Chain A
Amino acid sequence: MKTQVLVIGSGAGGATTAYELARAGVDVTVLEEGKRHDRAKTYGLGTTEGMKHLYRRRGMTPILGRVPIGYVEGSCFGGSTEINSGFWHRTPREVLARWQAQFDLEGASPEELAPHFAWAEEALSVSLSGRPFEKSTEVFARGAAAMDWAAHEVPRAATGCKSTNSCAVGCPTGAKQGMSISILPRAEAAGARVLTSARVRLLIKQGSRITGVLAEVELEDGARKLVRVDAEHVFVCAGPTETPALLRRTGIKFHVGDTLRIHPMLKVVARFRERIAAYDSVLPVLQVREFSPEVSMGGAFFTPGHAALSLSDNWDPARLDAIENMAGYYVAVRGRGRGQVRSSQLGDGETMLRYELAEEDVVNLSNGLARLATLLLAAGAEEVYPTVQGMAPITSEKQAIRWLDERLPRSALSLTTVHAFSACPIGERTDRCAADSYGKVPRWDNLYVNDASMLPDSPGVNPQGSVMAFARRNALHFLSRLGPS
């Protein structure tokens, strides 16, 4: 017995695809590698429990390179939308124009995407918070105002946020509209079947078709089975790193996994004169867009553990005594370097990530640090501690602006990222795209990619909005080709 459409992954791309197809009457099965958790028991339990239950490889998925970069993504029912901030951006007009020019991307003008963004925004109740800023946002806003830089509150898919500071470990109140609470229940209500704890190891190829998948399934009693699931059409929505890895494991390698892009992020901890208690509130919701899309600045998830982690590059535990007055911020750049996703030849074909920072990345990070530190000092920070090995705290504007002219030493950088994409770029340029403008993989009659890996290049903003809008557009395009079911 075959399922009509098999969707691999239940994150922003997979959930949207499953919903749109099921709603149209298509027989849909979703295979999700992670588990379906009971919100009351597993969400909001703290960093360690969150990482154990909701993150891929418990959050131990570094991107290797001359400068290793910490990277995390979700692996659970709802994917990374369960552990992100819920920030919402439409793809910037300028970025879409560039994608069109560079990748011959069809059907992706701001006007063509607008209804898809509008649908997602309504489905997730995307809105501004509508209440006074928490202290960590307030001081950041004060700094931006002092610098006279463009800054705005980012809309979030988090209606009625209770400010529990649990975004990164699963929202326990259900305010944040991760896929598990928003789109997936609708998809299931429309008839989609979702099987969790099912890791797809391989696509089964026959001629020019994918006939199904091989998957490892964990049963309720803990037993694990290798199973085959047959399908007429397969949408791979396993995320920005797993989608290319799965395709490569299957032997589909044409422009797959060669162009991983990320937003490298440098964090700082700022110590203010006043009490901030950033660990007790939602992360700062204001972003400075003065230098976007190349450089953006905002607030980072902050707990005592994250503070210790950020301070560890120049470790002095006494600094934690002032944790009440601290908050975490970041500068992120639109990465110009190029990364790779590879499926290891050893072991179970584990995904290996590589990324080499481009020279512009280092320049942008240096300039970004200078500007972020200046902003924070203007906001009243007494000391700014960057995650740069061996760098003394920044206590004056003079120390900060040094990095407008100098470059941070690569070997001393401690970078992280939570945004990855573009390892299977879509577009009509066959010399650089892994799939056509609507995600169909060339040479395969029934294979599609429909998640963050399809974004042709770095969007320069949080990618969830872009992923959902493109995924819906592609799903509807697929339905139009499929005909009445």
Chain B
Amino acid sequence: MGRHRKTMIALGLLASAVFLFLAVRRLDFASLRAIFARADLLPWVPLGVLSYVAGHVVRGLRCRLLVRREANLRLVTASNIVVVGYAANNVFPARLGELVRAGMLAERTGIPIAQSLVVTFIERVLDGLAILLLLVVGTMNGGAPGWTGDLVRVALLVFGGACAVMLFAVYSPALVVAGASRVGNRLGPRWHDRLVGLATSITNGGACLRDPKNAVWILFYSAVVWVLETGLFLAILPVFGLAPSFTAAAVAMSVTNLGLLVPSSPGFIGPFHFFCSRALMTHGVDEATALAYATVVHLAFYVPVTLWGAASMLWYGVEVGATAAMTREARAAGKELEIGGVVLHELATLSPATADEPASAFTTALVEAIVVPSGKRVEPTALRDAADFVHGQLGSLQPQLAMLFEGGMTFFRLVTRVRHLRGYCDLPLDTRRAWTLSWAESRYGLLRKLFKPVRATALLAYFDHPAMRASIVVPAKQLARKKGAASSAAPSGSAATGVEAE
């Protein structure tokens, strides 16, 4: 064991001891025993555990979405990875579980370790913001002691700063890589390649957030995770005869989790009890009851997840030290490739190109309203292919334009629902056609511009589709045959007439 690691563990144990002392220094142990004797564990503790465990499943959903571009993780695998991290934090000091979790994510998905650490960083930043939000909600009714306000400000500074860094890396990857290249160039080719590779991994880690839909889901999952964790703190309140109050639970949960940022002994023994009990005492709960409450919440927090995590570790055969091994593997990047006689120095692996996806029901309904003329039969193959084409074209727009288009279409769908009291896809074709046309040919230029890309690509694809082309265009040979058969009275040279006659 290295000296540095020994120092870390010693400091963690010291922090735990200090907080444990602070938590119990004025405690009347006799009344604590009496409180436990009166505790009403069922059904509250199982309910709390269920809520907490459900939170980890949602964490799995979020993790799966965060690495979706690189890997198709099953929900059970994603949840196991998340839980392994938490379990490792319960077993190892100084939040080393975060590294174990990143290592396992890298091992399961094949993404570089740096990218995996960035995914973990993003999760922690979003967690911090969600906790902060719940703390603000919990203290909004007034009466909260002054230190909670200080805590909000400090947390806002920490997580707000981290969030700014995250947003920069996620939304300006080109600048990050260019910056790394410039700095690296001053340090020599070896450092250049390392820094560029690292910067690429970092920017890839947040790539999923560039898709507005993904970003919204990830934010939503983050909120749900912490509401469910608040559920654990809420469910334990009645165990000690305390009124179930969401705000009290939210404050206890938020303060406890922010307190856990202090590196301490395995399982956060000490800091957890100190911060949890102090948070509850701000709601007028006596010290002994608050400590008893903190102890039960801690056990519900510690035992199930540690067991689940241990089982997962056994199942996947993850060993402590795998992280270091994978880091070494990641460093092996920088090898030379030769393709077609061109020598390339490989710096990083990028997400594979995504395959075309079929159009959504909304896009198909929109394309149908645009291209199928009133009174004419729809050509199903042409419609399906045109909708898929439009979907692909819109996906090829520059991100800023795509975002504007998505925003505009969300507005359109919202107005449609308000105006027609039904979703766009549920409207009859005639209504949909007229409604769409009223926007696409609106006197407001902005609305016309919104519909221009979808309208242009839809018409182009539908009327150039072989099935449609065959129905509106008379091939030259067929025309010659028809002319031969037609009487001389037929209007000469009128293709329109020819098509109608057909």
Contact = CB atoms under 8 A, between A and B. Distances in A.
Given A57-B397, A193-B340, A48 B437 contact: no
B472 interface: yes
Nearest to B192: A204
Contact of B441 (A218, A349, A389): A389
Interface string A188-206: 0000011100000110111
Interface string A345-362: 111111110000000000
A280 B178 contact: no
Given A279-B473, A305-B463, A312 B456 contact: yes
Nearest to A223: B352
Contact of B172 (A1, A303, A346, A414): A346
Interface residues on A, range: 35 or more
A214 interface: yes
B393 A58 contact: yes
A129 to B, nearest CB: 19
B8 interface: no
A275 B493 contact: yes
A416 to B, nearest CB: 10
Interface in A48-70: 48, 51-52, 57-62, 68, 70
Interface in B165-209: 171-175, 177-178, 181-182, 185, 192-193, 196-197, 200
Contacts of A48: 385, 389, 460-461, 464-465
Interface stretch (A148-156, A256-264, A321-329, A364-372): A321-329
A225 B344 contact: yes
B448 interface: yes
B145 interface: no
A218 B353 contact: yes
Contacts of B460: 47-48, 305-306, 308-309
Interface stretch (A11-19, A92-100, A115-123, A226-234): A226-234
B178 A304 contact: no
B183 to A, nearest CB: 12
Nearest to A188: B340
A320 B473 CA distance: 10
A47 B461 contact: yes
B177 A304 contact: no
Contact of A304 (B345, B347, B348, B468): B468
Contacts of A61: 398
B277 to A, nearest CB: 46
Contact of A309 (B337, B441, B459, B468): B459
Given A60-B393, A62-B401, A305 B461 contact: yes
Given A58-B393, A321-B499, A249 B178 contact: yes
B349 A224 contact: yes
Interface in A219-263: 219, 222-230, 249-251
A292 interface: no
A407 interface: no
Contact of A347 (B185, B400, B472): B400
Interface in A24-68: 29, 31, 46-48, 51-52, 57-62, 68
A214 B348 CA distance: 11
Interface string B140-182: 0000000000000000000000000000000111110110011
A3 interface: yes
Contact of A60 (B193, B344, B396, B463): B396
Given A58-B392, A202-B181, A46 B342 contact: no
Interface residues of B, number: 78
A10 B399 CA distance: 26
Contact of A321 (B174, B456, B500): B500
Nearest to A228: B345
Nearest to A325: B495
B434 to A, nearest CB: 12
Interface in B427-468: 437, 441, 445, 448-449, 452-453, 455-456, 459-466, 468
Contacts of B339: 195, 217, 219
Interface string B463-480: 111101100111110010
A304 B475 CA distance: 13
A309 to B, nearest CB: 5
A320 B344 CA distance: 52
Given A46-B464, A202-B178, A323 B455 contact: no
A130 interface: no
Nearest to B188: A206
A273 interface: yes
B30 to A, nearest CB: 63
B396 A346 contact: no
Contact of B185 (A206, A226, A315, A324): A206
Nearest to A51: B393
B346 A227 contact: yes
22 contacts: A51-B393, A58-B393, A60-B394, A195-B339, A204-B185, A223-B349, A225-B347, A225-B348, A226-B348, A227-B345, A228-B192, A249-B178, A273-B493, A277-B473, A303-B463, A304-B463, A304-B469, A305-B462, A308-B460, A322-B496, A344-B398, A349-B174
